[in-house]
Amino acid sequence: MDSENNYIVQALGLGKQVASPEGTLIILDAINLAIKKGESLAIIGISGSGKSTLLGLLAGLDRPTTGKVILNGTDLNQLDEDGRALIRNQVVGFVFQSFHLLPNLTALENTALPLELAGAEQADAMAMQKLQAVGLAERIHHYPNQLSGGEQQRVAIARAFAGNPQILFADEPTGNLDHKTAQRIIDLLFDLNKENSTTLIMVTHDHAIADHCDRQVVMAGGQLTENL
Amino acid sequence: MNTFKFASVSLTRDWHSGELRLIGISILIAVACLSSVNFFTDRVRRATERQATELLAADLVLISSAKIRKEYITKADQAHLTVSLNESFRSVVTKDDKLELTEVKAVDTNYPIRGRLRTSDYLLGAEQYNDSIPAPGSVWVDSRLLQALQVQVGDSINLGAMAFVIDKVLTYEPDRGGDLFNIAPRLLMNRTDLDATGLILPGSRIKYRLLLGGDSEAIDQYRAYINTNKDDHMRVQGIKDARPEIKSALERAEQFLGLAALVSIALAGLAIAMSAQRFAIRHYDNCAIMRCLGLQQKQISRIYLYQLLMLGLICSLAGCLIGYFVQAALTQLMSGLSQQTLPKPSWLPVLSGLFAGLITVLAFALPPLMRLGAVSPLRVLRRDLTPLPVNNYLIYSLAVLALMLLGPWQADNISLTLYTVSGLFLTAILLALAAKYMLALLARLQPHLKMAARYGLANVTRRSNHSIVQIMGIGIGITVMLLLTLVRTDLLENWQNRLPEDAPNYFLINIQPDQVDGVKSFLAHALQYEIELYPMIRGRLTKINDVAVNPDDYENPRASRLAAREFNLSYATKMQADNRLVAGRWWTGESTVEPYFSVEEGIAETLGINMGDTLTYSIAGQEISGHVINLRWVEWDSFHVNFFVVSNPAALKTYPGTFISSFYIPESKRSILIGLVGKYPSITILDVDALLAQVRTIMNQVVRTIEFVFIFTLLTGIAVLFATLQSTHDARTQESALMSALGANRKQIISGLVAEFMLLGLITGLLSAIAASVIELALAVFIFKMDIVINPLIWLIAPVVCCLIIVPTGLFGTRKVLSVSPMLILKKT
Ligand SMILES: Nc1ncnc2c1ncn2[C@@H]1O[C@H](COP(=O)(O)OP(=O)(O)O)[C@@H](O)[C@H]1O
Ligand SMILES: [Mg+2]
């Protein structure tokens, strides 16, 4: 087996620079990272250190200035925006700090959205299953503004797993939740992760949560260091 | 602190940060639209009036029974007005043993000041424009005079003490109006020959006219001067006093234009209100921080008031400037269509533009901005602390107030303004209610739909309050657009249909009672249809309810003129088809023996005649009295024979009179007339084609004007659409980034938007079609007083047009949403 195939996500010399009033700002400086299938990785670091930027590049939400990302065997640089959208839809799931549910859609419709985007036949039925799995079977016809923060994040998790992704990206998924709710969400996330044998890449600054992961990396000064 | 200085600083800061730009641009668009409408309509209105002046051959005419005094002419010269003098009188023209009474008009070289003469070189020859007047020693005459005297061009005829050579046949004379049925044939001569004819003697009945032309300001000034220095035996005729059919065409045009301008203001107001709302919401945090830093509520309110006033002033000025250029471009565009050069723009629209801009801004933007003063400083700790919303009634009353304030001088017609504002208000409320129920109904469809349709529907139904505003805002715009296109076409076509292609083009007058049957059967045979002959008896109104009628008792010059003149009376068993009873009953059959009168409502009002009054007419030395038992509305624009006063046969049948008729003869069948005249030489034929053509030209100009104004209304409608889109821009950007992160490709995002805008378009179109139909019915019945059949195409065209406008505009307005990076989703919101 080719060594590359052991890694589901690979960052090679990944760099991101942006223009700022004070000149070019280097957010990420030639980062190398390789994540194995089924592995769970925590990215930690202080606010503004570039964690989200890295996550966005790994997930194909953005283009790097230098270097490349190989996701599930595909070089993302070779794809256009629609090509990357297809990868995001087929391979990747997301959980965000501020939930990001569409306010105009019900819990069920939100969950079914990625499936519908993929053109799935039984989108609603599959979405139902996932909502059951996150314990929201009773609330499927509720709109986001009728749900608590924890419930909204459960819907987001159901949505993230709806398309049976291989990799789940989570950006501070508990950042907007109280401690107790956060704990339950994290438990749910890891349970589902195990059940679906998904690769999990999670940004957090909560060390207790990071400790749940197989591996931790620290972002600082545009560089990534392994936290052993 | 100096709130004014702070306001101006934050104005520039907010402008740069892009937040005020939106509201500023709304004002700019509003005022640009408004002022270009004003500039343009002002010019076109003056041009249209100028065209109407052709019917006077001048902008203003003084008519006097005595020689026009020198000082009037001097005054006109000083005012740099073009001056032309003419004398007209009746005299007999002779040729050998034949003689004919003619209407002589002696003109100078400036005649006519407006319009052009047309002549032909021989009887029934080709007609040509002619910008000269008869040379001394020669005359131009009506074809009727040639027929009556059996002479030709080149022959000589005698007028008074002088012999004249007939040089041309006079075919068209702009100010030929007057009483169509009583004019003898025209003879046009040069004023320099007047003395030599020896016809100007003391006691001769001569009408002296002073024709004046110039720009409208100078004319208005001169008119004011005349009104205060008028001789007793003099009257003034301006465009407004011209023929009733032209007057009503102009008035209707102004009604349409006023309506359009008012709607533009309302739409702009809507756009401004929405922008201001968004501006306010985005400034809550700012204000909370300022409050924390110690600013008082009052100071915050003042800052935003100043900011608004400054913005309003600057943008209104800029808007006027843009309006000026847009108007100039439009004029350029239109110059190809109309041969006529428009008068220079006046400065009035700048003032009215500034005024309207400030009023609109204050009425529509102030309420949401004043909420900013009420932001709690605690908001810095609890973001959900939002000030109480402004009382909706306050917003609505302010908006209505502003429209009322701006309305009258736009429309020059208070009842129209009232109709329009309450109509708009009602339409808005009804549209909102209908939209609300329609959205609730549609929401049930959502689970059964597929991807794009479902997402689009969700966007429309879940933001239902927002959608209602959008539907209402765009709906009003579209409703007005429908009114201005489909409904306007309906109404105008109906209106123009009053001058159908087969409108009567000939009048027959002077038909003797013993010729009636012969003429009827001759024409029935030649035209293949029956024509109606109407009796006509001339009589002077002497008494109303035993009070003698004295022309001098009437203040209104038209009333006094009417009272002085002989009436053309008629009698009839049945009412004419183009008349409508407005009061009382028609008499039944011939059975009545008591004399009754039926009076046209307009003249009844002018002369102060009421239902039940007794009118006394003096006819051929005899007096006849009768009660007024009904009032009629008459469709004058039909050009059918009609009478101000009609009696039952019992009243007038025994009096001596003649018969008259009107009918249409196509160009190809004119020979019929020659046959008719050959058989009945005493019957006079009047050609009204030329007059009809003139009226039709003016109407076409009016239609074109309204079409141009319609473009501006369309623009303001689109501005409203943009304002609604911009108020959802932030949410849309966020959603689009999320959809993209979840793997939606560009096509999927676009089809979601297309579905949404299409749905919005369909709902808006349907509701607007309903609204427009209702308004059309109301307008037809209450204002234009005509029957109308609603065009069934409206149900197809309205939704299609709405989609064609809303989908591309919507996609253009949300184009930034399409290029948003999914990375946005990882940024702090
Ligand atoms: N497009 C951009 N333009 C300018 N600065 C950016 C851009 N994206 C990120 N940054 C900056 O890069 C830094 C890292 O941002 P981010 O990755 O969001 O950090 P973290 O998620 O670790 O808090 C921040 O200082 C942020 O302001
Ligand atoms: Mg971050």
CB B200 within 8 A of CB B93: no
- Identify whether the C-beta of residue B479 lies closer than 8 Å to the C-beta of residue B768: yes
Most confident of B48-52, B251-255, B306-310, B721-725: B306-310
The nearest CA of chain B is from the CA of A169 a distance in Å of: 11
* pLDDT at B443 > cutoff 50: yes
Q: Do A102 and B823 touch (CB under 8 A)?
A: no
User: Contact B191/B199 with Cβ under 8 angstroms?
Assistant: no
Query: Best of A16, A17, A18, A24 to mutate for ligand 1, by most ligand atoms within 8 A of CB?
Result: A18
How many beta-carbon pairs below 8 A join chains A and B?
87
Distances (CA, A) of B173 to A163, B50, B114, B189: 86, 17, 11, 13
Q: What secondary structure letter does DSSP report for B637?
A: G
With a CB cutoff of 8 Å and minimum separation 6, the contacts of B748 are A117, B451, B452, B739
Residue owning the nearest CA to atom 16 of ligand 1: A50
Identify how many contiguous H helices and E strands chain B contains and give both numbers. 25, 22
Q: Tell me what pLDDT residue A58 has.
A: 94
pLDDT recorded at residue B220: 86
What sign does the dihedral A188-A190-A194-A198 (CA atoms) show? positive
- Residue with structure tokens 């004029």? B331
Q: What is the spatial distance between Cα B273 and Cα B661, in angstroms, rounded to a whole number?
A: 60
Report the pLDDT averaged over residues A195-214. 91
The dihedral region occupied by B384, where left means phi > 0, alpha psi between -120 and 50, and beta the remainder, is alpha
Q: How far is B446 from chain A (nearest CA, A)?
A: 10
Question: In this predicted structure, what is the pLDDT of residue B409?
Answer: 47
- C-alpha distances in Å from residue B321, one per residue of B31, B354, B409: 9, 11, 21
Is the four-CA dihedral B781, B783, B787, B793 of positive or negative sign? Answer: negative
How many Å lie between the centroid of ligand 1 and the Cα of residue A8?
Answer: 25
Q: What is the pLDDT of residues B706-718, one digit of tens each?
A: 666 666 666 777 7
pLDDT in tens, B78-109: 999 999 999 988 787 888 877 787 889 999 99
Nearest to B411 by CA among B399, B400, B403, B422: B403
**Residue B599 confidence (pLDDT) above 90:** yes
Residue nearest to atom 18 of ligand 1 (CA): A52
Q: Judge whether residue B350 has pLDDT over 50.
A: yes
Q: How far apart are the CA of A89 and the nearest CA of chain B, in angstroms?
A: 4
* Helix axes of B746-778 and B794-813: crossing angle, nearest 10 degrees: 140
Distance from CA of B384 to the nearest CA of A (A): 14
pLDDT tens profile B629-688: 999 988 776 668 888 899 988 888 888 888 988 888 887 787 787 778 667 766 767 766
CB contact at 8 A, B311 and B11: yes
Q: Given pLDDT bands bounded at 50, 70 and 90, which one contains residue A190?
A: very high
Best CA proximity match to B92, nearest among B149, B13, B174: B149
So what's the pLDDT on residue B337?
40
Mean pLDDT across the stretch B312-338?
A: 75
What is the rounded average pLDDT of the residues B811-828? 84
In SS3 terms, B99-122 reads as: EEEEEEEEECCCCCCCCCEEEECC
Could you report the predicted ipTM of this complex, rounded to two decimals?
0.86
pLDDT beyond 80 at B407: no
**Separation of alpha carbons B10 and B22, rounded Å:** 15
Measure B745 CA to nearest chain A CA, in Å: 5
Share of chain A above pLDDT 70, in %: 98
| Angstrom distance (rounded) from CA B324 to CA B360 | 19
Distance of alpha carbon A7 from alpha carbon A70, whole angstroms: 9
> How far from each other are the two terminal CA atoms of chain B, in whole angstroms?
33
Output the pLDDT for position B438: 87
Q: Per-residue pLDDT tens for B606-629? A: 888 999 999 999 887 788 999 999
Q: How confident is the model at residue A225 (pLDDT cuts 50, 70, 90)?
A: very high
Label residue A187 left, alpha or beta by phi (over 0 means left) and psi (-120 to 50 means alpha): alpha
- What is the atom index within ligand 1 of the atom nearest the CA of B826? 18
Of A85, A100, A104, the CB nearest to B745: A85
Q: Which residues of A touch B455 (CB under 8 A)?
A: 105
A217-221, B19-23, B214-218: least confident range: B19-23
Give chain B's mean pLDDT.
79
**Highest mean pLDDT out of A73-82, B201-210, B528-537:** A73-82
pLDDT at B298: 82
**Ligand 1 atom with the shortest distance to the CA of A20:** 4
User: How close is the Cα of A201 to the center of ligand 2, in Å?
Assistant: 14
Interface test with A, best of B742, B756, B817, B820 (most A CBs within 10 A): B742
pLDDT, one tens digit per residue, over B505-540 is 788 877 888 889 999 999 888 888 888 889 988 888
| pLDDT tens for each residue of B751-770 | 888 988 998 899 989 998 98
Pocket, ligand 1, Cβ cutoff 6 A: A 18, 20, 25, 27, 45, 47-53
Exposure on the CB side of residue B23, measured as CA atoms within 13 A: 34
Task: Give the mean pLDDT of B461-470.
Answer: 75
Q: Which atom of ligand 1 is nearest to the CA of A203?
A: 21
Closest CB from A92, A102, A163 relative to B738: A102
Q: What is the pLDDT of residue B487?
A: 64
User: Distance, CA B796 to ligand 2 centroid (Å)?
Assistant: 52
pLDDT at B246 over 70: no
Q: What is the mean pLDDT of residues B680-706?
A: 63
Measured between alpha carbons, how far is B768 from B770 in angstroms, rounded to an integer? 5
Query: pLDDT digits over B798-807, tens only?
Result: 899 889 988 9
Per-residue confidence (pLDDT) for residue B165, from 0 to 100: 95
* Contact between B743 and A118 using a beta-carbon 8 Å cutoff: yes
Q: Is the dihedral of CA A140, A146, A152, A156 positive or negative?
A: positive
- In one letter, which amino acid is B770? I
Give B465's Cβ-side CA count (13 Å radius).
3
Please tell me the distance from the alpha carbon of residue B801 to that of residue B630, in angstroms, as a whole number: 47
All residues of chain A having their beta carbon less than 8 Å from the beta carbon of residue B823 are 56, 61-62
- Choose the most confident range, by mean pLDDT, from B218-222, B491-495, B706-710: B218-222
d(CA B588, CA B593) in angstroms, rounded, equals 11
> Which chain B residues have a beta carbon less than 8 Å from that of A143?
462
Q: For residue B190, what pLDDT band results from cuts at 50, 70 and 90?
A: very high
Residue B410 pLDDT more than 50?
A: no
Residue % of chain A over a pLDDT of 90: 64
> Cα angle vertex B106, ends B105, B109, to 5°?
125
Mutation choice for ligand 1 from A22, A46, A52, A98, CB with most ligand atoms inside 8 A: A52
Is it the case that residue B213 has pLDDT exceeding 70? yes
- Of the candidates B423, B298, B321, B316, the one whose C-alpha atom is nearest the C-alpha of residue B359 is B316
Please give the full DSSP string across A71-108, using - where no structure is assigned. Answer: ETTEEGGGS-HHHHHHHHHHHEEEE-TT----TTS-HH
Q: Is the per-residue pLDDT at B195 higher than 80?
A: yes
Looking at residue B634, its pLDDT comes to 85
Residue with CA closest to ligand 1 atom 17: A50
Residue B799: predicted pLDDT: 92
> Which whole-number Å values give the CA distances from B374 to B9, B363, B389, in the listed order?
22, 19, 10
Distances (CA, A) of B754 to B335, B722, B748, B758, B812: 39, 16, 10, 6, 11
Between B386 and A73, the higher pLDDT residue? A73
Is B304:B310 a contact under the CB 8 Å cutoff?
no
Residue A222: CB atoms within 10 A of its CB come to 19
Please tell me the predicted confidence (pLDDT) of residue B382: 64
Give me the DSSP letters along B49-83.
HHHHHTTTTSSEEEEESSPPPHHHHHHHHHTT-EE
For A115-148, the pLDDT digits (tens) are 888 888 888 899 999 999 999 999 999 999 899 9
> Residue B264 corresponds to which tokens in the numbers above?
């533009």
Q: Which atom of ligand 1 lies closest to the CA of A171?
A: 21
Which ligand 1 atom is nearest residue A27's CA?
12
Residue B248: per-residue pLDDT? 55
How many A from CA of B514 to the centre of ligand 2? Answer: 106
CA-proximal residue: ligand 1, atom 14 (nearest):
A50
Distance CA B656, CA B568 (A): 12
One-letter amino acid identity for B460? V
Are A109 and B454 within 8 A, CB to CB? yes
Give chain A positions within 8 Å (CB) of B444. none
Chain B residue with the nearest C-alpha to that of A58: B823
The per-residue pLDDT for A3 is: 46
Nearest 10 degrees: Cα torsion A30, A36, A37, A42: -70
- H/E stretch holding B624 reads strand B622-634
Q: In angstroms, rounded to a whole number, what is the distance separating the alpha carbons of residues B537 and B528?
A: 29
Per-residue pLDDT band at A30 (split at 50, 70, 90):
very high
Q: Cα(B550)–Cα(B608) distance, rounded to whole angstroms?
A: 12
Residue owning the nearest CA to atom 5 of ligand 1: A18
Which residue type occupies B93?
Answer: V
For residue B809 the two structure tokens come to: 């505009």
pLDDT score for B181: 44
Residue of B458, B741, B829 with shortest CB distance to A61: B741
**Beta-carbon separation of B458 and A52 below 8 A:** no
- A48 Cα to the center of ligand 1, angstroms: 6
Among candidates A98, A117, A143 on the partner chain, residue whose Cβ is nearest the Cβ of B742: A117
Instruction: Locate the ligand 1 atom nearest the alpha carbon of residue A53 and give its number.
Output: 17
Burial B548-574 (b: 16+ CB within 10 A, else e): ebeeeebeeeebbbbbeeebbbbbbee
What confidence score (pLDDT) does residue A155 get?
95
